[in-house]
Amino acid sequence: MAVPEVTDVFDKDGVRLTVDDAIATVTLTNPAKRNAQSPALWRALAEAGRSLPGSVRVVLLRGEGKSFSAGLDRQAFTPEGFEGEPSFLDLARGNDADLDAVIAEYQEAFTWWRRSDIVSIAAVQGHAIGAGFQLALACDLRVAADDVQFAMRETSLGLVPDLTGTHPLVSLVGYARALEICATGRFVHGAEAERIGLANLVVPGAELDAAARDLAGALLAAPRDAVIETKALLQGASGRSYEEQRVAERSAQARRLRDLAGLGD
């Protein structure tokens, strides 16, 4: 039987995207800087989302080296910033509309991971700090190595988490624990992360990639449309009443039954 070919889609600005049939892998590729993040990396992550072939059902996110991502590159806070980019200090001096637009552009790197047509899995080892923590939270599921260290350091720096991490964090661990994690900036290690729901699974570091691939394979076992409908039901559940969710379930099941009977659109 032919082995599916792994296709390199692109490799730039600290991000590599490869596709192996129904599984895409997005890899952070700057281990020397613990996969620190920058606006260029965020644009590359957003491009990865736009570049996914329609065949992809599961996206794996991983970081090379000892750390998943140590967060925002501190060069962002220097007067010179990144070459070819406005410094964060320059952005702060701009008007409200321009500053809002820039932050919204940065957030695009973190928003596509929960698209209804894919399931995303972050494989997280070592440091996942600040923007790194938020990138892991952007995914649907998290498999962590036992050496993982999650931390939301923004508040400690006089900032707030603004890369879409607050909503999933509260959804996963509740308001009180999310506030405590963010306001103290403390580290959440593997055992606690699994216990409070930040991580779906914690494994020895040497087994991390294999565990993430195994989970991806399990997700591919069910028919794609059933997974899409189930994901939509679960994503919308918190915003619906019990009765509204019952209605949504009936509508989704009616679509599935008609599709299985060959009566779909």
Per-residue pLDDT reduced to its tens digit, 196-230: 999 999 999 999 999 999 999 999 999 999 999 99
CA 3-143-213 angle, 5° bins: 5
Query: What residues in the chain have per-residue pLDDT under 70?
Result: 1-4, 265
| Burial status of residue 242 (CB atoms within 10 A of its CB: 0-12, 13-18, 19 or more) | exposed
Question: Residues near 238 by Cβ (< 8 Å), separated by ≥ 6?
Answer: 171
- pLDDT at residue 2, as a whole number: 46
How far is residue 104's CA from residue 87's CA, in Å, rounded to a whole number? 16
Measured between alpha carbons, how far is residue 86 from residues 10, 83, 254 in Å?
Answer: 25, 8, 52
- pLDDT at residue 1, as a whole number: 44
- pLDDT at residue 137, as a whole number: 98
Among positive and negative, which fits the CA dihedral 257, 261, 263, 265? Answer: positive
Record the pTM. Answer: 0.94
- pLDDT at residue 141, as a whole number: 98
Q: What is the pLDDT of residues 102-140, one digit of tens each?
A: 999 999 999 999 999 999 999 999 999 999 999 999 999
CA-wise closest residue to 165 among 131, 134, 132? 134
How far is residue 264's CA from residue 257's CA, in Å, rounded to a whole number? 9
- pLDDT at residue 264, as a whole number: 72
How far is residue 43's CA from residue 208's CA, in Å, rounded to a whole number? 27
- At the fourth CATH level, the homologous superfamily of domain 6-219 is 2-enoyl-CoA Hydratase; Chain A, domain 1 (3.90.226.10)
